[in-house]
Structure 1
Amino acid sequence: MLSVIRESIKNAPGGSISYAAFMEMALYHPEHGYYQMNKAKIGRNGDFYTSSTTSAVYGAVWADVFYSMFSELGISCVLCEIGAGDGSFAKSVLDEWKRKGYPPLHYVVVESSPYHAEQIGMKLEGFCWSRFSSLEEFQSVCPSFNGIVFGNELLDALPVHVVRQTPAVLKEVRVALNETGELMEVAVHADDELRKWVETYQGDLEPGQTMEVPLAMASWLSKLYEWIERGFVVFVDYGYIREEWRQPEVREGSLRGYYRHQLILNPLSRPGEMDLTSHVHWDCVRKAGENFGCPTTCFQSQQEFLLEKGILNHLVANVSRDPFSPEHKKNRAIRSLIMDNSISRYFQILIQKKDGCC
């Protein structure tokens, strides 16, 4: 992967590439990108955990939520999960859907990783589902969409540009090579598009403040909302609203790497070997939805959301003294999703609705 990035930098005007271009290669290169590698990325043997791999209860709660959404709009039950990972969430939703006897559900998986595609195929055997390697591929056979689009930890992995405010001007932080061929950062004057985005969503940054600019996300969201005719868009992720981006802990930006469950502060280390992620600009997501008649109907912490949607109803009476019994494991998993120090405290749920009236 490093050789591919070096070659790209050498051929780039000025000898540098944007962080967005770097992330696109490091994460999504068809041969050497992190998400294309034939290895575990999620869970104990991977680099990070997700809520959906903590317990099947997570997907079970969402199954009831999805059914309510379909009923509210009176549309066919078609659910499209973008970035489905290893299929754990899809299986838990479909299992609960079947257990509850809900109307037939067609589950569409958008997942580019061949490794994950194989795992999904094994998990969803016997269910009604289909897979596409990209949203564009799905859109080519489905020109307009009526249903629910779901993305869990999707937006945080989209490529971002990086800017830094100096006392005089806004600079873009780019990726270049030093004399020994190692990756390093350089700063150039930010172009009009980057400056306009910062002015729109953040106003003036403080001198020395670094921030990610999600131009790729904004473009991708526009195409998504335009494609949807009627339905809901659901994003589960971690991010900030405008005021929170002023907090001291994100003064130097939020772009990080994760490798074997360790936080890597230098995003340029281990390209292609580790996950790269940055916090979501929720104001940008909300505004993009509004522009296409898909306003936000829910925005809250995952912890609050799960409690409101009845996750405690899934607790089971302990019928065994064995702490490793299925009942004990399930109850521990539920607690791990709602406790104050749980993963859910740091995640937000954003739900947007497009009813076709706009």
Structure 2
Amino acid sequence: MSSPDKAISYSDYMSLALYTPQLGYYQKEREKIGRNGDFYTSSAASEVFGAVWADVFYRVFQEQQLPFAVCEIGAGDGRFAKSVLNEWKAKGYPPLEYIAVESSPSHTRKIKDRFYEGPVTHFDSIDAMRAVRSSFQGILFANELLDAMPVDVVKKEVHGMAEIMVSIDNKGNLMELEKPLQNTELLMWIDEHIGDLSIGQTIEIPLAMTNWLTALYGWVEDGAVIFVDYGYTRQEWRMPQLLNGSLRGYYRHQQINDPLKFPGEMDLTSHIHWDCVKAMGEKAGFRAACFQGQSSFLLENGLLELLQDSSSLDPFSPVHKKNRAIRSLIMEDSISSYFQVLIQKKDGCR
């Protein structure tokens, strides 16, 4: 396919590669998280991550006088939900409604296996949940969700703005193709959220995320929206090391810089635009009550209090394993060092 007219946008390519039923990466029957998968998450590292968040959730409920309801979007295999609910029960907090939104068939089965006796309600999408619940009151939580949403890719050339498209060469290999940027939505997004780019700079534009956030914030009648993810502020996007953008893949715990390699077989991700997320929330009446690195957030919210003394000499004892997990979340260059936490609260909450 050599004709440029047959090229598709990067967002269309990512949608196909990640979300095509049975063929897309997130829809396939394969291990994705952990040692036998392609990447790790903070919730997969240890149950202490969810234990910290259980206490954070409780404080938010109390401060905002909210119904005790958590909706986790992109709930994965249910590990985070399990650790939150275990800590919630151990602390004797009031009954909690926990809703897991997850589209992956394999992850959905794991969620149902973990909670075959309850107390988690599952939906395969926010749209499915909206169909039975016209509005939401409580806490919306998403860990490593926004970075997996499809993005368009643009580049500023000397002659003007170009869009990086995906096509196929004469040998049937996927290839990138530059075309003059004509999508007015992309141009408007750049003007609003980024401003002028440097000559030669490539950057990802998250229209899908922006539209999704608009609908999400509009659905929350009262409560807090919490995102844990990796990304950059508007100013940080101008750093020299980001001139080539951030879109890449993860395959068997290896970073793959070519996003066209292993289509459907590897995770695709890009860093999110934090200022855009904040701006979308503010438009809908959500103020940013907290924005900080995950390491400092966990420390400030009691992670070290979970450390336990032990007389056991067995390095593989449960206590030693838990203590190592706690330290692994806050050590320099740990997974937490790459993540940020954004808590947005609805203005006018009780």
Shorter-chain TM-score category? over 0.9
- 1:310 corresponding residue in structure 2: 302
Which secondary structure state, in structure 2, belongs to the residue aligned with residue 21 of structure 1? helix
Instruction: Provide the rounded CA distance (Å) in 1 between the counterparts of 2:87 and 2:347.
Output: 26
Instruction: Provide the rounded CA distance (Å) in 2 between the counterparts of 1:284 and 1:347.
Output: 17
Deviation at 1:33, TM superposition (A): 0.7
- 2:124 corresponding residue in structure 1: 133
1:145 and 2:136 correspond: yes
Match of 1:76 among 67, 87, 93: 67
1:187 and 2:171 correspond: no
TM-superposition CA deviations, 1:294-351 (whole Å, max 9, x none) = 1211000000000000100000002201111111100000000011221111100000
Give the TM-score taking structure 1 as reference length: 0.95
Q: Which amino acid aligns with 2:185?
A: E
Give the TM-score taking structure 2 as reference length: 0.97
Q: Which amino acid aligns with 1:169?
A: G
Match of 1:90 among 61, 81, 91: 81
Instruction: Provide the rounded CA distance (Å) in 2 between the counterparts of 1:161 and 1:349.
Output: 24
Deviation at 1:355, TM superposition (A): 4.4
* Number of equivalences: 349
Task: Check whether the contact 1:336–1:342 (CA below 8 A) recurs between aligned residues.
Answer: yes
Task: Check whether the contact 2:204–2:246 (CA below 8 A) recurs between aligned residues.
Answer: yes
Q: 1:84 to 1:155 in 2, by over 3 A?
A: same
Task: Check whether the contact 1:94–1:127 (CA below 8 A) recurs between aligned residues.
Answer: no
Task: Check whether the contact 1:231–1:355 (CA below 8 A) recurs between aligned residues.
Answer: no
- 1:104 corresponding residue in structure 2: 95
- 1:259 corresponding residue in structure 2: 251
Q: Which amino acid aligns with 2:256?
A: I
Instruction: Provide the rounded CA distance (Å) in 2 between the counterparts of 1:145 and 1:327.
Output: 38
- 1:281 corresponding residue in structure 2: 273
Provide structure 1 residue ranges, at least 5 long, that are not aligned to the other structure. 1-5
- Within 5 Å, give how 1:43-58 maps onto structure 2: 43-58=34-49
Which secondary structure state, in structure 2, belongs to the residue aligned with residue 338 of structure 1? coil
1:340 and 2:332 correspond: yes
Match of 2:239 among 222, 236, 247: 247
1:200 and 2:226 correspond: no
Task: Check whether the contact 1:73–1:355 (CA below 8 A) recurs between aligned residues.
Answer: no
Instruction: Provide the rounded CA distance (Å) in 1 between the counterparts of 2:168 and 2:23.
Output: 20
- 1:60 corresponding residue in structure 2: 51
Root mean square deviation, CA, Å? 1.4
1:330 and 2:325 correspond: no
1:353 and 2:340 correspond: no
Match of 1:211 among 193, 198, 203: 203
TM-superposition CA deviations, 1:104-159 (whole Å, max 9, x none) = 01110100111001111122233311101110000110000001100000000000
Instruction: Provide the rounded CA distance (Å) in 1 between the counterparts of 2:347 and 2:93.
Output: 22
- Within 5 Å, give how 1:156-171 maps onto structure 2: 156-171=147-162
Instruction: Provide the rounded CA distance (Å) in 2 between the counterparts of 1:214 and 1:85.
Output: 22
Which secondary structure state, in structure 1, belongs to the residue aligned with residue 49 of structure 2? helix
Instruction: Provide the rounded CA distance (Å) in 2 between the counterparts of 1:354 and 1:291.
Output: 11
- 2:146 corresponding residue in structure 1: 155
1:36 and 2:27 correspond: yes
Instruction: Provide the rounded CA distance (Å) in 2 between the counterparts of 1:219 and 1:148.
Output: 20
Deviation at 1:356, TM superposition (A): 4.7
Instruction: Provide the rounded CA distance (Å) in 2 between the counterparts of 1:164 and 1:328.
Output: 49
Task: Check whether the contact 2:287–2:347 (CA below 8 A) recurs between aligned residues.
Answer: no
Instruction: Provide the rounded CA distance (Å) in 1 between the counterparts of 2:248 and 2:108.
Output: 26
Instruction: Provide the rounded CA distance (Å) in 2 between the counterparts of 1:139 and 1:116.
Output: 21
TM-superposition CA deviations, 1:228-279 (whole Å, max 9, x none) = 0001100000000011111122110100000000000000011110000000
Instruction: Provide the rounded CA distance (Å) in 2 between the counterparts of 1:198 and 1:321.
Output: 57
Provide structure 2 residue ranges, at least 5 long, that are not aligned to the other structure. none
User: Kindly, what percent of the aligned residue pairs are identical?
Assistant: 57
Instruction: Provide the rounded CA distance (Å) in 1 between the counterparts of 2:265 and 2:348.
Output: 43
- 1:22 corresponding residue in structure 2: 13
Q: Which amino acid aligns with 2:194?
A: Q
Q: 1:126 to 1:319 in 2, by over 3 A?
A: farther
Moved more, 130-139 or 184-193: 184-193
Which secondary structure state, in structure 2, belongs to the residue aligned with residue 173 of structure 1? strand
Moved more, 244-253 or 147-156: 244-253
Instruction: Provide the rounded CA distance (Å) in 2 between the counterparts of 1:214 and 1:144.
Output: 25
1:177 and 2:149 correspond: no
- 1:117 corresponding residue in structure 2: 108
Instruction: Provide the rounded CA distance (Å) in 1 between the counterparts of 2:99 and 2:196.
Output: 42
Task: Check whether the contact 1:229–1:356 (CA below 8 A) recurs between aligned residues.
Answer: no
